[in-house]
Every structure is written in C-alpha cells, then in structure tokens.
Amino acid sequence: MDSNTKPVAITSLASVIVDLPTIREHRLAMTTMRTQTLVILRVKCADGIEGIGEATTIGGLAYGDQSPESIKLTLDQYVAPLVVGMDARSPNAVMARVGKSVQGNALAKSALETALLDAQGKRLGVPMHQLLGGAVRQSVSVLWTLASGDSARDIAEAEQMLELRRHKVFKLKIGKRDPRDDVAHVAAIKAALGDRAELTVDVNQAWSEATAYRFIPELEAAGVMLVEQPIARANRRGLARLAQRFDVPMMADEAVHSASDMFDYARDEAADIVALKIGKSGGPLGVLRTAAVADSAGIGCYGGTLLEGSIGSIASAHAFAACETLEWGTELFGPLLLKDDIVIKRPDIVNFELALPESPGLGLDLDEDKLSHYSRKH
Ligand code: MUC
Ligand code: MG
C-alpha cells in the first residue's frame, strides 16, 4: 500500500477563539459590530499534516443560535472524542459519525469539514476545489456591504471601492431604523451611484409582512437588484407571497440552512434566490448539497458570508467556485472588514474578482504570532 491508501489517523483537534477589530462599525438590524470573533480549528493527523478550519457567526448570539463559546465547547468536548483516531482521508465518514452524535451545530461541523478538506488537499497536493469536483470558475466576484448607516459616508465608501476596482455591487443592511428612513437611504445611494453599481438590500428578518408590502415597491422604484430575507425566517409562506407579488427577486438567507430547508423552500416556491453559506450547511461539501437542490429547482445561487475571516472565506470561495451555477455572485468580503489577519497572505481582489488559490488545500498559512496575539487567553 502506498501512502495514499493507508489510513491516516486524526491525532488531535484544537480550537481557539480569536477576536479581531473591524475597520469601522458594521450595523446590521440585530447588532452593531466593532469586533469579529472567529473560532479557528486545527486538526492534526498522524502523517504530520495539519488542516485548518473556521467557524464564525455574527454578534455572539444576535444572529444565530450558536455562539463562539458554544462552538468551541462543542468542538472540544463533543466532536474531538468522536473523531480522534478516525481516518482523516475520509471527511465523509468523519462527518457522518459526527452527524449521528451531534445534532445541529452546523458552524462547528463546517470548521471540521473545512479542516479535513484542507488536510486532504495538502496530503494529495491539490487545491481544495479539486476535492469538490473541480472549479467551474477560477475567480468569484465579491460584493461589499455598506453598513455605516450614514448615506454620505456610504456613498463615499462605495466611490472608493469603485475607484479601487474592488467592488461594484453593494449590499445595504437595513431594518434597524424606521423603514421610511431606510428606503430614503437606499434611494439616495442608488441615485448617487447610478448605473456604475448594483445595489442589494438585506433586511435580516426585521420587517413584518405588512411592512414589506408597504416598502418593497419603493425599493423596486429605487432600482435595487434583490431583497434579502425581508421577513422572519419562520414565515416561509410570507416570503412565497412576496416572491409572487414583486418583480424584484426575493433572496432567502436565515431561512435556508440545509439541503432539506432548500427542498422545502423549493417545493413552496418561497424564494427566487438562496444565500449559500458553508457555515449554515455544515461545510463546503454540505453547501454543495444545498446548491444542488437549489439548482434542481431553478432557484438562483448566491455565495453568502457570515463575515468569516480569511480561512472561512477562502473555504467558501473553493466551494462556490465548484457550484454548477452562481448567477448572483458572492459576498466574500469578511476579511476586508477586519483590521488585521491571522493568515500570512490572503488573496487580493483584482478587477472586482477574487482569484482562487491554487496551492494545496485551502492555500493559506497561519500567521502564528498574530494568531497568538488575537487569541482569547481565558
Ligand atoms: C447576512 O445576513 O447576510 C453578510 C454581509 C453582511 O454584512 O452581513 C452578512 C450577514
Ligand atoms: Mg443576509
């Protein structure tokens, strides 16, 4: 047996919580971020290879039901004992065992699946996307979120991004203020940028269905490209009604996590587009399963983010590059929202596109000094 046919035991899992400051306040309907917290997972294997993964959410427990602290506890206390000793070369078998004994906790699972794919890519000398069936595209477009809450400041920020040729699609986070102020903010930004940029809005579930009926026509009139998760994730029939009533496409985000959520949404014709996220779907392989259901139902795919740092964002880029269709682009800008990074070199965005790393695994190396500097010590 050569080295690729012998089992390679997983020898240890180690997770750390990393707090990184953001470059500016990032205002969403449910929280205002000044730092972002990442959980970084290191998986060591008997052949000396280490894989890295990341689990990241937004605003502690403000966005979802897993906090950084609970993700770390899940990995340390429940996942590690299940997987140490298993063959690292089969992420599917490892994830199946974890799936049987750990319910939910998709973010922790995503970190593990990412780390196993990173390790296996390094082992075989191939980039992660090759383990996912190969890239359909060599780069992905990257949207930028304008979330200072101030129209003039957001316009200046968008102008700067256009000038740098970094982003030409912008997402506005709305839903925190009076909807009248929000739609005025959106219209002012669209009027200033005109046809030089596309605009999307993310309400992050903040509106009632009645408020959505009242204000979506104004968003349409302002010329937004799509409306993301305007109403509560539990109101699937409500999103279906909005999708039927308005021409502007409705994108499901918080409402669709797994392939089975996607199936339910497709059956009920409840969305035009889905925001795919590796964290929601339990990893890069999981997100491809969700994408396959969306594709089968003719629902458009969009590469979303939970504002991950470089490890989570590049893992997402490998997966999104392998999606059969990705009509609505991606928003993998998380690392650019952070003042510093814990990897040595992250890929640049050139001409509005992020090129896929071609080196083995994720194609990223940890910066040990920065990792230790920003790691939570207690
Ligand atoms: C979300 O709900 O889409 C994506 C961009 C951003 O600013 O927040 C995230 C979360
Ligand atoms: Mg969203």
- 3: in domain: no
- In this structure, the answer to whether residues 34 and 175 fall within a common structural domain is no
Binned at pLDDT 50, 70 and 90, residue 148 comes out as confident
Residue 221 CA, chain-centre distance (Å), reads: 29
Instruction: Answer whether 173 contacts ligand 1 (Cβ < 6 A).
Output: yes
Which residues, other chains included, contact 173 with Cβ-Cβ below 8 Å and sequence gap of 6+?
A: 26, 27, 28, 29, 145, 146, 147, 201, 202, 204
Q: Render 215-256 in DSSP notation, one character per residue.
A: HHHHHHHHT-SEEE--B-TT-HHHHHHHHHH-SSPEEESTT-
Q: What's 38's domain CATH number? A: 3.30.390.10
Q: Supply the pLDDT for residue 3.
A: 54
Q: What's 289's domain CATH number? A: 3.20.20.120
Q: What is the number of the ligand 1 atom nearest to the C-alpha of 275?
A: 3
Residue 360 CA to ligand 2 centre (angstroms) = 31
Q: Supply the pLDDT for residue 1.
A: 42
Instruction: Answer whether 27 contacts ligand 1 (Cβ < 6 A).
Output: no
- In this structure, the answer to whether residues 168 and 252 fall within a common structural domain is yes
Residue having the nearest C-alpha atom to atom 4 of ligand 1: 305
- 4: in domain: no
- In this structure, the answer to whether residues 138 and 245 fall within a common structural domain is yes
Positive or negative: CA dihedral 207, 210, 211, 217: positive
Instruction: Answer whether 145 contacts ligand 1 (Cβ < 6 A).
Output: yes
Strand order through the sheet with 139-141 = 139-141, 353-355, 349-350
72 is catalytic: no
- In this structure, the answer to whether residues 146 and 238 fall within a common structural domain is yes
Alpha-carbon gap, residue 291 to 257, rounded angstroms: 11
Binned at pLDDT 50, 70 and 90, residue 5 comes out as confident
Question: What average pLDDT score do residues 151-174 get?
Answer: 97
Alpha-carbon gap, residue 286 to 71, rounded angstroms: 18
Q: Supply the pLDDT for residue 324.
A: 94
Residue having the nearest C-alpha atom to atom 7 of ligand 1: 145
CA distances from 351 to 37, 144, 199 (A): 29, 14, 18
- The answer to whether the CB of 55 falls within 8 A of the CB of 108 is yes
Q: Supply the pLDDT for residue 35.
A: 98
377 is catalytic: no
- 269: in domain: yes
Instruction: Answer whether 204 contacts ligand 1 (Cβ < 6 A).
Output: yes
Q: Supply the pLDDT for residue 67.
A: 98
The domain in which residue 121 lies consists of 10-125+367-374
C-beta neighbour count of 127 within 10 angstroms = 22
H helix intervals, the chain:
68-73, 80-83, 91-101, 106-124, 128-131, 151-163, 179-193, 209-222, 236-245, 259-267, 278-281, 284-297, 310-322, 368-374
- In this structure, the answer to whether residues 145 and 26 fall within a common structural domain is no
Instruction: Answer whether 308 contacts ligand 1 (Cβ < 6 A).
Output: no
Is the predicted pLDDT of residue 206 greater than 60, yes or no? Answer: yes
Positive or negative: CA dihedral 305, 311, 314, 318: negative
pTM confidence score: 0.97
Q: What is the pLDDT of residues 276-316, one digit of tens each?
A: 999 999 999 999 999 999 999 999 999 999 999 999 999 99
Alpha-carbon gap, residue 238 to 269, rounded angstroms: 11
Mutation probe of ligand 1 site: the residue of 28, 32, 174, 226 with most atoms within 8 A of C-beta: 28
Q: What is the pLDDT of residues 69-97, one digit of tens each?
A: 999 999 999 999 999 999 999 999 999 99
Strand bridging mode 250-252 / 226-228: parallel
Residue 204 CA to ligand 2 centre (angstroms) = 6
Residue having the nearest C-alpha atom to atom 9 of ligand 1: 306
- In this structure, the answer to whether residues 181 and 211 fall within a common structural domain is yes
Q: What is the number of the ligand 1 atom nearest to the C-alpha of 58?
A: 10
Q: Supply the pLDDT for residue 45.
A: 98
**Average pLDDT in the chain:** 97
Q: What are the φ and ψ backbone dihedral angles of 120, each rounded to 5 degrees?
A: -70, -35
Binned at pLDDT 50, 70 and 90, residue 149 comes out as confident
Give the max Cα distance, the chain. 68
- In this structure, the answer to whether residues 242 and 155 fall within a common structural domain is yes
Residue having the nearest C-alpha atom to atom 10 of ligand 1: 306
**Ligand nearest the Cα atom of residue 228:** 2
- In this structure, the answer to whether residues 163 and 90 fall within a common structural domain is no
Q: Supply the pLDDT for residue 30.
A: 92
